[in-house]
Amino acid sequence: MSGNIQLLSDTLAAARSEGRSALIAYLPAGFPTVDGGIEAAKAVFDGGADVVEIGLPHSDPVLDGPVIQTADDIALRGGVKIADVLRTVREAHRATGKPVLVMTYWNPIDRYGIERFTAELAEAGGAGCILPDLPVQESATWREHAGKHGLATVFVVAPSSKDARLAEITAAGSGFVYAASLMGVTGTRASVGAQAQDLVRRTKATTALPVCVGLGVSNAEQAAEVAQFADGVIVGSAFVKRLLASDGDLAAGLAGIRALAGELAEGVRKRS
């Protein structure tokens, strides 16, 4: 293992050695502005996040619920470009020394160029990419270039994934496995549910990679619940909600997400 993926793997292993789950935060690039998004990434790291995923805003999302879609719309109307996403990765990583990934749908990378994107993401200090809509059987070219540049390829598994399919996905992935806790889109929910625990159990039977759970976790209690069985807890919509609720007051929004990261970081440490 080489390059920036090592930092990601070491960070997840360090959390495990402390007897806890890692806290992984998701924030869209360019929201509320490019500079504001960079400060937001720094703020959640400062609050206690171990890893940050930077979303590449997309006009036609399949996984993102209304909260993240609202933020993406703001970013897109602001003219966010892939260069801004890469700048966000670069500055967040440089300021903290912590692992930063990009989460993106496949179409923007395909249009930008796989070799160009992987080279520039690695140069920016990115740890890898989460690709929710790239089928594993069509991912060989991406994985070749990602591997050449020391980038993780994180695939998403869902409760509907059969065991044989899980094995195929986890064999192709690296860094960690993103386990979608339920069928549906991103968003905060009253409970994460037993589906997530079963999916993690079935996924772990196929791989030694860490398995991190996302979709639905929004508070410390839910983070503590998921931390009982997952290697990482992924939170996105709850952070975006706090930024949206600040109504343009960036300082207040940053304070809100820093505080939320602190609460969630306490949650992932409450493993029984």
* pLDDT tens, position by position, 222-242: 999 999 999 999 999 999 999
Q: What do you get for the CA distance between the two ends of the chain, in Å?
A: 32
DSSP state of 269: T
Q: Which listed residue (39, 53, 91, 231) is catalytic?
A: 53
CA 83 vs CA 29, 65, 121, 206: distances in Å: 10, 25, 10, 36
Task: State residue 62's pLDDT score.
Answer: 59
Q: Average per-residue pLDDT in the chain?
A: 92
* pLDDT tens, position by position, 103-156: 999 999 999 999 999 999 999 999 999 999 999 999 999 999 999 999 999 999
* pLDDT tens, position by position, 51-61: 999 999 987 65
Pick from 26-40, 46-60, 64-78, 105-119: least confident: 64-78
Residue 99 to residue 97: CA distance in whole angstroms: 7
Residue 186 to residue 206: CA distance in whole angstroms: 25
Residue 150 to residue 260: CA distance in whole angstroms: 31
For 244, the domain range is 4-269
- Cβ-count burial 131-142 (b if 16+ within 10 Å, e if not): bbebebeebeeb
64 is known as an active-site residue: yes
Residue 51 to residue 22: CA distance in whole angstroms: 8
Task: State residue 187's pLDDT score.
Answer: 42
| Average pLDDT over every residue of 200-208 | 97
| Average pLDDT over every residue of 165-179 | 97
Q: Which listed residue (64, 72, 120, 231) is catalytic?
A: 64
Residue 136 to residue 132: CA distance in whole angstroms: 10
The tally of domains found in the chain comes to: 1
Domain containing 36 — which CATH number? Answer: 3.20.20.70
Task: State residue 233's pLDDT score.
Answer: 96
Task: State residue 188's pLDDT score.
Answer: 44
DSSP state of 20: S
Task: State residue 83's pLDDT score.
Answer: 97
Confidence of residue 267 (pLDDT cuts 50, 70, 90): very high
What pTM does this model have? Answer: 0.94
Task: State residue 101's pLDDT score.
Answer: 98
Task: State residue 60's pLDDT score.
Answer: 66
Closest of 234, 218, 236, 243 to residue 74, by C-alpha: 243
